[in-house]
Amino acid sequence: MQVMQLKTEITKASAEYELIDSGEEERLERFGAYVLARPDPQALWRKRRAPEAWEKADAWYERKGATGSWHMKKDVPRQWPIQFGGLTFLIRPTSFKHVGLFPEQLPNCEWIEKVISTRTSTERIPKVLNLFAYTGGATLIAAKAGAEVVHLDASKSAVDWARENAEWSGLGNSPVRWIVDDAVKFVTREVKRGNRYDAIIMDPPAFGHGPKDELWKIEEHFLGLLESCGKLLIDDPLFVLLNGYAAGYSSLVFKQNLEALIGLHKGSVSQGELTIEESSGNRLLPSGIYARYAR
């Protein structure tokens, strides 16, 4: 198995998304017609834009304890669609500062699409399991590329949001199973059922709860979940993608776990950082880590 070097993946500005500025633990972004300001602890440098640019934001997030709230100008809707990466996403500011789109995931989505699309014409339709799938970017790009997908998240509102994104993207009739469940419990049941998958996507949070208040801590549950996922993979898996944010780990952690999971399968493992480039220059905002295997 070939091991590739650390890589920095970059999401650049596009027609309906751009990172305008960042700094002093904040980021200023445009989603379609609206500019939003929200916290980001990775932006530990000085802002480049003048204060007036930040003051013109259409909405800004104020943290209050564990969560916070948005301050919206009166003409800003509760939600609005934007085109990004060949899909349509509903932007909806939430109390946890997220808006439903993670722009840094664009290189991962492009990689998923490429791997699925380049399979041979004689291969069957691949089955993909997407865990901690949230609003569905990876699910939709895999379905668009021709895969059958199991989309799982512990949050019913997140799964409903992902289904809305599928409808807006013209993928409402795609072969996707939408599941609200605890990832550990679901994978354990899938192993007992003898189900197998050609590919697995996993974006585990540092901390969370399942739909029945099951506790998730990455330091306690990640290794067991990953080992169970290994039992779900076919003998010659198409790909595996591990993605992470805010857990404090290096991409080396994901890479080395992925190597152990894949074992002696032929293919390559890559690892790196996901970043977003400011539209006003070449400064990069770190936004996550990943490790990938493709046969």
What pLDDT, in 10s, does the model give residues 34-57? 999 999 999 999 999 999 999 999
pLDDT digit string, tens, across residues 251-263: 999 999 999 998 8
Mean pLDDT over 287-295 rounds to 96
| Band of residue 2 on the pLDDT scale cut at 50, 70, 90 | low
Asked if 273 contacts 255 with a C-beta cutoff of 8 angstroms, the reply is: no
User: Is residue 276 pLDDT above 70, yes or no?
Assistant: yes
Task: Determine the pLDDT at residue 63.
Answer: 87
The H or E element spanning position 22 is strand 17-23
- Kindly indicate the confidence band of residue 285, based on its pLDDT and cuts at 50, 70 and 90: very high
Mean pLDDT of 130-159: 97
pLDDT tens sequence across 207-252: 898 998 899 999 999 999 999 999 999 999 999 999 998 778 999 9
Q: What is the mean pLDDT of residues 59-70?
A: 89
Give the phi and the psi of residue 62 in degrees, each rounded to 5. Answer: -115, 120
User: Are the C-beta atoms of residues 37 and 28 closer than 8 Å to each other?
Assistant: yes
